[in-house]
Structures are given as C-alpha cells and as structure tokens.
Amino acid sequence: MAKSKTKKSYEDKRTKGKTPEPFGGKRPIEAKPMFVIQKHEASSLHFDLRLEIGGALKSWAVPKGPSLDPREKRLAIETEDHPIAYGGFEGVIPEGQYGAGTVMIFDIGPLKNVKDASLEDQYEDGQIEVLLCGQRIKGKYALVRTGKTRDDDWLLIKMKDDAADARRNPVSVENRSVQSGRTMHEIRKAEADG
Ligand code: MN
C-alpha cells in the first residue's frame, strides 16, 4: 500500500489566508528534481525532509534529522505531499494552525536518482535511493518503508560513500538558515516585529 488512505491532503489541513505557507507558486530553485530539509519547531522539534517525486514534494518528518553516519537509522514518518513551492518557505505558522511554529530552511539543493527505476516506482516500492546535493547534507541516502508501528514509518539511512562521516553532525552544529542566514529565534523575531 503506497499511502494510508486516511491521510488528509495539504489543502485539507490548511486554510488559505490563515497561514503564510504557500498553496502554489514558483520553484524555489531551478534544479529539478530538488530536495529540501526544513527545521520545524512545532509541538516537538523535527526536520522535514522533502523530495521532489511525481510533481510534488514527498515529505517525511525526521525527529532527529538526517545523520552522516551509515550506522544510524533515523525514523522518518511520512506526512502529506507538499507543493513544490513549499521548498522556499521559511517563517512562522501561527498558533491554532496546523504545524504551528517556526520553519527554517536547513538545506536545499538538487536531488539525483541513483537507481534505474523511476523515483515514483521506488516510492511505491518503499525503497528509495537518492543523491542529495545540498550544502550541508550531501551524498547518497536510502529511505526504506518499514510500516513498523504505523503505515507511515520509514527509516532514513546514510549510504556508504565519500560524504559519509560519523564525526560530523550538521543538524546539531548548523543553526542558521542556509537561505537567509537567520536562526530560529531571528525568524520568530522578524515575524513578531512585522
Ligand atoms: Mn513539520
């Protein structure tokens, strides 16, 4: 089963005009396909990994964020597809709205398929292998659907390559937006100051 049938869509979860999140719009970067990792301080802090597959950003909430260590398996909980323009979103989702909290662009860049099968087919099979070409997160990653405690459970695993490095941990070291250079606090403050 590709997707839980009960999962609400992006539009079902949000109300235009009540959240600054995009409902469409232009690509954040020219490269196609692309990926983005957004740091999201909501009810709990997590990193949202989004891969452009089949005309949308397939999305996973990764509580600990991606690791550069191939021995680490990071839980990645699939969430609703996001529009491509969402990759350029950074800001504050207001209280009372879905995902209320601060969003920062942690990394963004081109995505490359490293298998013969299309990304759509890999997604359907629950076994995706991609090369992420970001500034902070680089190299090959595998996403594997386990469906362990719920249908939407996947694991995000760094594959062995030159970019693998167990000593580096960018998710805890890099605390500024790759796009605007702002910290989470500065993003919140800019919003509060109008
Ligand atoms: Mn999120």
Q: Given its phi and psi angles, is residue 139 left (phi above 0), alpha (psi -120 to 50 degrees) or beta? A: left
- Region 91-113: mean pLDDT is 97
- Region 39-57: mean pLDDT is 97
- CB crowding 91-105: b at 16 or more within 10 Å, else e: ebbeeebbbebbbbb
Average pLDDT for the chain: 95
More confident residue, 3 or 129: 129
pLDDT at 52 over 80: yes
Q: What separation in Å is there between the alpha carbon of 121 and the centre of ligand 1?
A: 25
pLDDT at 4 over 80: no
Of residues 140, 17, 34, 143, the one with CA closest to residue 88: 34
Residue-level length of the chain: 194
pLDDT at residue 148, rounded to an integer? 80
Q: What separation in Å is there between the alpha carbon of 79 and the centre of ligand 1?
A: 8
pLDDT at 2 over 70: no
Q: What separation in Å is there between the alpha carbon of 72 and the centre of ligand 1?
A: 21
Three-state secondary-structure class, residue 86: helix
pLDDT band at 88; cut points 50, 70, 90 = very high
> Which pTM was predicted?
0.95
Q: Which sign, positive or negative, has the C-alpha torsion 8, 11, 15, 21? A: positive
**CA distance linking residue 165 with residue 33, whole number of Å:** 25
Q: What separation in Å is there between the alpha carbon of 161 and the centre of ligand 1?
A: 28
Q: What separation in Å is there between the alpha carbon of 116 and the centre of ligand 1?
A: 30
pLDDT at residue 194, rounded to an integer? 75
pLDDT band at 6; cut points 50, 70, 90 = low
